[in-house]
Each structure stands twice: as C-alpha cells, then as structure tokens.
Amino acid sequence: MYPEYPLVKKCLSQIEESLSWGPSEHWHNDVFSELSEKIQHKTQVLLSPTTLKRVWGKVNYKSAPSITTLNTLAQFAGFENWRDFKNKNKDSKKISVLSKVNSNLGIIMLAASVMAVVFISFYSLKGSQPDRELNTSSVYFNSRPLAKGLPNSVVFDLDIDSIQSDSIYIQQFWDPTKTITLEKGQKQATGQYYYPGYFRAKLVVDGKAIKQHDLFIKSEGWLGTVDYEPIPKYVDEKDILQGKLAFAPSLLEEIKASDEPISSTFHIVDDFGSISGDNFRLTTRLKNSYHEKWAVCQKTQLIILGTKSSMVISTSIPGCVSEIGVMMSDVYLSGKKHDLSRLGMDLSEFRNLTLEVQEKELTVFLEDQPIFTGSYNESIGDIAGMRFLFLGAGEVEKVHLQDLVTDQVIIDEEFNQ
C-alpha cells in the first residue's frame, strides 16, 4: 500500500456514492468506459478505463497514482485538486494517537511527521505552480497508413522531445478510450484500425489536445462486418443477399450459434462532399433478423460519422429502453437517467425510421411520427459515413440521405428494387 492509499480510497468512495452505480466490486469493463467519458466531460482530462481499473484495484498495480490522476479524481469528486481534497479530509484521530505515546517515541514520530509534511508540502507547492504555456512549434505529429482497405495499420511520426510531461498519448479518434500511450523521446507509434471511418487523431498532453489531424479510411461501398473482438469478420459480397443489406443464411446461423452477445454492422464511409452533419435528413427502412437469446432486446444503432464528432441513435424493444442511449456530438442521454421510452419499438418487421437534423436540432420519426427530439452544441462537422449496427443481425432495405442546406440527395438506394 502506498502512503496516500486511505485518502484515495476515501475519494473513490465519494465518487461511487455520487454515481449511485452500486458497489464497485460489481463494476465491469463497460462501467469503467462510461466513467472515463464522464470524467473527461466534467474535467476535460482523459483517464483511460485501464487507469481507472488500476486505481480501483481491478488490475494488479503496485505504484501510486500519478498526481495528474489524483487531481482529476479529486476534481470529479467536486474539489479544486488533490491538495484541496486532502485538506478537507484530514483525519483528526492521528493527533490524539500521537499524544498518547511515550515522550521519546513521540519525539521520533513528531520529527518524522515534520519531515513528511515538509516533503509533501514541497511537492504540493511544485504542483501548485502555474502551468507553463507549452510551445508547440517544435512538436511534430503526423500519420501515414501502411495499406489500402481493411484492416489497416497507421504509423504516427512524432517529435515530442520538447514536451515535459508524464502524460502524453495519442487519441486515435473521437472515442476518448482509444489511446496510445507515449514516452518521452519516442519517434513513432502505430495504431490499428479495423473499421472504416473518418478519424481525427489527437496528440494529447496532460489532458489537452495540442496537435491533431485527420485520417480517412473508406469502405469502398457498403461493407458488412460481424463484430468479433478484437478483430471483426469482414463479410464477402457473396455473403450479402442481393436486393437488400442482409447476411446470407449461413452467416446468420453462425451469429445464432454464438454463446456470447455479438453485433453485426453495415458501414458506408466515403467522401460525400460538404454535407453538414448539422443539417440533413436520413430515411431508412430496417428490421432485426435475429432477436432471440442474448439479442432479445433487438438493440439497434444508427450511427452518423462526422468529421468532428458523431451521432448515435439507439433503439430497442420497449422493455429494454433503460439500456439504450442517444449521443448527439457533445450531448449524451442515458436511458437510465432520461425517458427514452418512445425509442422503444418492435423491429421484428420492417419499419421506416427517419433522422432529421436542422441547425443542431434532432428529430427522430417512426413511420412519419416524431418520437424523439434533442439538441446539442458542438458541430458534428461534415458527414463522412454511417453505420447500421444490430445486436445479432439485421437488414436494411432503403437508405435516403439528403442535404437540407442544398436539398441535394447524396444517397438514394432502394435495395429491394
């Protein structure tokens, strides 16, 4: 145990109490991923799920958390920083214990305590000094793919010698949990991309992005995947039925045979021109092909990929809406904290679903009836692609994408015709 372990445990207990997610001993990987996102949203500092699992003792790790981690956890718990948390959570019992020991032992312990206070105060004062503004002119950050198509490895070329920090990493795209940790002096790093997309890679120092650039990995038309972890299965054209986006019976049987929950996805990622992700209409006709066993909830996601962020609309049968959510760029609504009951629907038969966004105002329609409205603040950017993700498997008969600024039709596919 490191010296501040009791205080860290106290801080974690306060965080657990504020979250009301139940005892942390029952938390699984997805919980730590969600916590990572919540911490970044509130503090603007990324603590990866792995880091959080180490602090919570889910991973065997003997070192004490870094001061960046402690400051961030304290801020998330409602304090100014770790020093502020310590000052407001002092254990007064230690004073009474010292007063009861014999004088000789008391002198020794007092001397040790004074030295400890001096030591801690020295480093606390160091940590309280204003951050020096980072000069990024000598920092280099770029990337180059090693192949065409998928999967694809990307080499990041770096010059980070001028950075003085123990928290440097690459965020591979908008998902704050997809990171590559860097060490001082490192010149190259590689990242693996298994899915098509428009990825904004960021070089992050102490939780702040100082350099960024875009990677565009196209799908070359519609692409089907069975989303095995960690590597998906790419579906050949011969295994996609003619007339609609749907898997052949043999692949559907493979999905049904899985003992673990598995999703499948249809992707299209391409250069659609300057179609705003904040002003568009997407109309589609879709259904769930497999909704038994672990897929009984018929969970389905429509994902709009933007050049700056993304939009994710989730649906399920009415009895499972507590487990779905809606993400609109910088706004996330969880079914556990918001009433998303109208996004509950039976997709065992084909239904018509429309997403309409006008000036960052989203309306979702089911069979031309509005079932959800919401708004967000940060632009999604231009549309770079979309995904239809099904827990289990699904089918898509129609995709119609229209730019509401120019009225231009970008995609108009009736797969069943």
Give the CATH number for residue 388.
2.60.120.200
Residues 253 and 180 in one domain: no
pLDDT of residue 243: 73
The answer to whether residue 246 sits within a structural domain is yes
Could you give the CA distance from residue 357 to residue 355 in angstroms, rounded to a whole number? Answer: 7
Residues 226 and 211 in one domain: no
Q: DSSP letter string over 37-72?
A: HHHHHHHS----HHHHHHHTTSS---SPPPHHHHHH
Residues 262 and 168 in one domain: no
The answer to whether residue 129 sits within a structural domain is no
pLDDT of residue 1: 67
Residues 260 and 322 in one domain: yes
The answer to whether residue 107 sits within a structural domain is no
The answer to whether residue 176 sits within a structural domain is yes
41-49: long-range contacts at Cβ-Cβ below 8 A with a sequence spacing of 24 or more? 41/332, 42/75, 42/76, 43/72, 43/75, 43/76, 43/207, 44/207, 44/208, 45/72, 45/75, 45/206, 45/207, 46/169, 46/171, 46/176, 46/179, 46/204, 46/207, 47/72, 47/73, 48/177, 48/179, 49/177
Could you give the CA distance from residue 86 to residue 74 in angstroms, rounded to a whole number? Answer: 9
Residues 178 and 317 in one domain: no
Residues 273 and 357 in one domain: yes
pLDDT of residue 166: 80
Residues 329 and 188 in one domain: no
pLDDT of residue 403: 97
158's tokens: 């770096």
3 state SS of 160: coil
Residues 6+ apart with CB under 8 A from 266: 222, 223, 224, 245, 387, 388, 396
pLDDT of residue 182: 92
* Residue owning tokens 């254990």: 91
Could you give the CA distance from residue 225 to residue 241 in angstroms, rounded to a whole number? Answer: 14
Determine if residue 368 is left, alpha or beta; phi over 0 gives left, psi from -120 to 50 gives alpha, anything else beta.
left
DSSP 8-state code for residue 19: H
Residues 66 and 169 in one domain: no
Could you give the CA distance from residue 229 to residue 237 in angstroms, rounded to a whole number? Answer: 22
The answer to whether residue 99 sits within a structural domain is no
Angle between helices 67-76 and 5-19 (to 10 degrees): 30
How many structural domains is the chain composed of?
Answer: 3
13's tokens: 């207990």
Could you give the CA distance from residue 88 to residue 169 in angstroms, rounded to a whole number? Answer: 32
What's 202's domain CATH number?
A: 2.60.40.1870
Q: DSSP letter string over 100-128?
A: TS-HHHHHHHHHHHHHHHHHHHHHHHHHH
Strands in 130-239 per DSSP E: 140-145, 152-159, 168-171, 179-181, 188-193, 197-205, 208-217, 223-226, 233-235
The answer to whether residue 344 sits within a structural domain is yes
Establish how many alpha carbons lie within 13 A of residue 236's alpha carbon, considering only the half-sphere containing its beta carbon: 3
Q: DSSP letter string over 177-201?
A: T-EEE--TT--EEEEEE-S-EEEEE
Last residue of a domain, one of 217, 239, 259: 217
* Helices then strands, each counted (H, E), the chain: 8, 21
CA dihedral angle for residue 190, residue 193, residue 198, residue 203, rounded to 10 degrees: -30
Last residue of a domain, one of 197, 217, 237: 217
* Residue owning tokens 């018929």: 298
Residues 302 and 343 in one domain: yes
Spans of the chain, pLDDT less than 70: 1, 62, 91-134, 174-175, 177, 238, 242, 416-417
pLDDT of residue 214: 87
The answer to whether residue 128 sits within a structural domain is no
* Residue owning tokens 């065409």: 148
Per residue in 218-262, pLDDT tens? 888 899 999 998 899 999 776 777 678 999 899 999 999 999 899
Determine if residue 25 is left, alpha or beta; phi over 0 gives left, psi from -120 to 50 gives alpha, anything else beta.
alpha
What range does the domain containing 186 cover? 140-217
The answer to whether 375 and 364 have CB atoms below 8 angstroms apart is: no
Closest CA to 310 of 331, 325, 324: 331
The answer to whether 323 and 296 have CB atoms below 8 angstroms apart is: no
Residues 226 and 311 in one domain: yes
Residues 241 and 352 in one domain: yes
The answer to whether residue 124 sits within a structural domain is no
Could you give the CA distance from residue 392 to residue 261 in angstroms, rounded to a whole number? Answer: 7
Residues 233 and 282 in one domain: yes
Last residue of a domain, one of 166, 200, 217: 217
Residues 6+ apart with CB under 8 A from 156: 141, 142, 143, 170, 180, 188, 189, 190, 191, 201
Q: Estimate to the nearest angstrom the gap between the alpha carbon of 100 and the chain centroid.
A: 52
The answer to whether 16 and 31 have CB atoms below 8 angstroms apart is: no
